[in-house]
Structure 1
Amino acid sequence: MKVYLCILLLFFLAEINSQTLTSVYFKNNSYELSQNSKTKLDSLSQLKSNLAFRIFGNCDPSGNIELNKKLSENRAYAVSQYLKNKIGSNIKLGSAIGLGIEKQINDNSTEKLRNKNRRVDIFIEKTFAQGEKISRKMLPSFLDSNIEMMKVKDTFSLPDVNFIGAKHVWLPNGNTNLFKLYKVLKLNPTFEVELQGHICCDYENFDGEDEDLGTFNLSWTRANAMKEYLLKQGIESKRIKVVGLGHLNPLVYPEITEADRVKNRRVEIVLLKK
C-alpha cells in the first residue's frame, strides 16, 4: 500500500507546471512524523523538476494560543528537517513557518475535521527563469459550446467573468455572461454543474482572504456568489455544487501584470449531469 501511495503521488506531481500543494497529518498534541507521512515526504524528495518547497504548520484549537503556535512551529520544523536530509540540489527548501490556529480550513465541529487541522502544508512551486511564465490554453466556453457535444465531467470557462482583487464581487462586464449562464441552465433543466472558484497572488495560503468576510476561502466565496446569483434567478440549489480551488490552477503564472492577475480571478464550470 505504501509503495502504491508513493507511485500515485509521484504520478500526480510529475507534471507540475506552476504550483500544487500536499499535506501531512499529525496526532493530537504531537509533532512526530508518522510512517505514512515519511513515505509521502520521501516521494516529494524524489521529484526531478526544479522546484521550491514552502512549509506551513497548523493546529486545531485545543490548548492555549501560545502552545498551539509552538506546536505548529515544531510540526513545520519536523517536516523541513526531514526533507532537508532527502532532497536534491534541484529543490530549494524555503520557509518553514508555524501558523498556530490562524489558517484553519475546517470548523473543528467533529474529531475528523479537527484531525485535518493538525497538519503541515507543503506548497510546491516550479521555479522559473527571469521573465518566463506559463499561459494555459483557455478552456471551451460553457456559453458557446454545442449542448449535444458537451460531456459529463468536462470543464468549461466562463469568459469575461472575473473578480475584484480580494473580493467575491465580479467586475461589471461579467453581468452579461452571468445572465447567459442562467439562460443555459434554465433551457437545460437536467443540467447539474460544479462551480470551481480560483484566485490569484496569495502564495502564502492555499486560498486567499476575502476582505469583506474576513475568511480564508476566497475562491469558494467567489463561486458561491455566482451560485447565489443563479438561485435568485430561479435555478434550484441542488443543481449547483460549489468548490474553491485556491491559487493552485492558474491560467497565467507567475502573475507579472494586473491583466495576468485578473485572468486568474475566475470561476470555471464542470458539467456534473446532463
Structure 2
Amino acid sequence: MKTFVVILLSFISIKINAQMVNSVYFKNNSYELSQESKTKLDSVAQLKSNLTFRIFGNCDPSGNIELNRKLSENRADAVYVYLKNRIGNNIKLKSSVGLGIEKQINDNSTEDLRTKNRRVDVLIDKTFAPGEKISRKVYPNFLSTKISMMKVKDTFSLPDVSFFGGRHAWLPGGQLNLTRLSNILKENPTLQVELQGHICCDYDNFDGEDLDLKTFNLSWTRANAIKEFLAKQGIDINRIKATGMGHLNPVIYPEITEADRIKNRRVELVLIKK
C-alpha cells in the first residue's frame, strides 16, 4: 500500500478568510484529551470572529467497525464538551460526528501514520453575510519571476495549471506551463521547492476525495502528481516536497461559478532553497 504524506492539519490564525481546521490527537483506544490537546482547544475557544465549529472524530482501523465508530464518536464528544464550556457567544457549535475509519487521510503502514488518524478535526467556518465573497490576491507567477528576485519562503502561483473536479489529473492547458516549470528547475539545479495542493468546494471535510484513488487527500495527490511529472522529466525528487493544504486557503470563497472552482483547484509553489 502506498504511504501518503501526512497532510497539514494544525492551523491556527486569528484572521479567518473562509475556513480553517484544528486537530487534536489521541492515544490508541482512548478518547481522553491530553494536556497538549486542551491547550490547543483553549486557543481555539478564544477566537473572536463570528464562527461556526463542526467537530469530526476519526480513528485508525484497530478493532471492528462498530467499536471504531463508537470510539470516534466518543472522541468527537469529548472535544465538543470541552469547547462548549469555554467558547464565547460569538462561536456556534454546530455538530459533533464520529466518522469511524471512513475518511482516513493516511494509510496505516507505520505507527506514526496510525497516530495521525487517531484525531478529532475541528472545522472552523467564518460566518458570511448574504452575498459576501472573498477574493484573495494571486501570488506572483513563478514562471515569469526572475530567480534573483525570489526569496526563500516566498509563495508563487503556477498559472493555467488547474485540475478536473475530484481528480489529480490536470486540465490539458496545464501541460505547457508544467514543462516550463521543469525547464526552470533544470536550469537552476540548486532550487528546491514545495508544491502545495489545494481543492475547492468540499467544506464538510478538511480535504476532498480523490475519485480515482478513493482516498480523502485530494490536495496532496494533486501536488504529488506534479512532483511525479517533474521526476519523469529528470528532476531529483529530493528537491521537491509535496504538501496537501485541503481548502484552507481559497483564492475565491464561496465558489459560485465553475470559473471560481477552477481557480481554487490549483497547486502553488513555496521556494525552500535557492
TM-score of the superposed pair, with normalisation by structure 2: 0.92
CA shift at 1:222, angstroms?
0.8
Match of 1:218 in 2: 218
Aligned positions of 1:37-186 closer than 5 A: 37-186=37-186
Distance across 2 between alignment mates of 1:136 and 1:241? 24
CA shift at 1:23, angstroms?
1.1
Please list every run of 5 or more consecutive structure 1 residues that lacks an aligned counterpart in the other structure.
Answer: 1-8
**Which deviates more from structure 2 when the two are superposed, residues 37-46 or residues 65-74?**
37-46
**Which deviates more from structure 2 when the two are superposed, residues 120-129 or residues 80-89?**
80-89
Please list every run of 5 or more consecutive structure 2 residues that lacks an aligned counterpart in the other structure.
Answer: 1-9
1:183-216 residue CA offsets vs partner (Å, 9 max, x unmatched): 2112212211111111111112211111111111
CA shift at 1:225, angstroms?
1.2
Match of 1:253 in 2: 253
1:85-128 residue CA offsets vs partner (Å, 9 max, x unmatched): 22222111111110001122233333333222221110111110
1:225-252 residue CA offsets vs partner (Å, 9 max, x unmatched): 1122222222222221111111111111
Letter in 2 for 1:213: L
Distance across 2 between alignment mates of 1:193 and 1:61? 34
The count of aligned residue pairs is 265
Distance across 1 between alignment mates of 2:147 and 2:38? 47
Distance across 1 between alignment mates of 2:231 and 2:40? 42
Match of 2:31 in 1: 31
Q: 1:194 to 1:78 in 2, by over 3 A?
A: same
- What secondary structure is seen at the aligned counterpart in 2 of 1:234? coil
- Identity over the aligned pairs, expressed in percent? 74
1:14 aligns with 2:14: yes
Distance across 1 between alignment mates of 2:268 and 2:182? 14
Please list every run of at least 4 consecutive aligned residues from structure 1 whose deviation after the TM superposition is greater than 6 angstroms: none
CA shift at 1:34, angstroms?
2.5
CA shift at 1:27, angstroms?
2.3
CA shift at 1:45, angstroms?
1.5
Q: Cα RMSD between the aligned structures?
A: 1.6
- What secondary structure is seen at the aligned counterpart in 1 of 2:142? coil
Distance across 1 between alignment mates of 2:40 and 2:222? 32
Distance across 2 between alignment mates of 1:30 and 1:141? 46
Distance across 2 between alignment mates of 1:227 and 1:33? 37
- What secondary structure is seen at the aligned counterpart in 2 of 1:185? helix
Distance across 1 between alignment mates of 2:36 and 2:191? 40
TM-score of the superposed pair, with normalisation by structure 1: 0.92
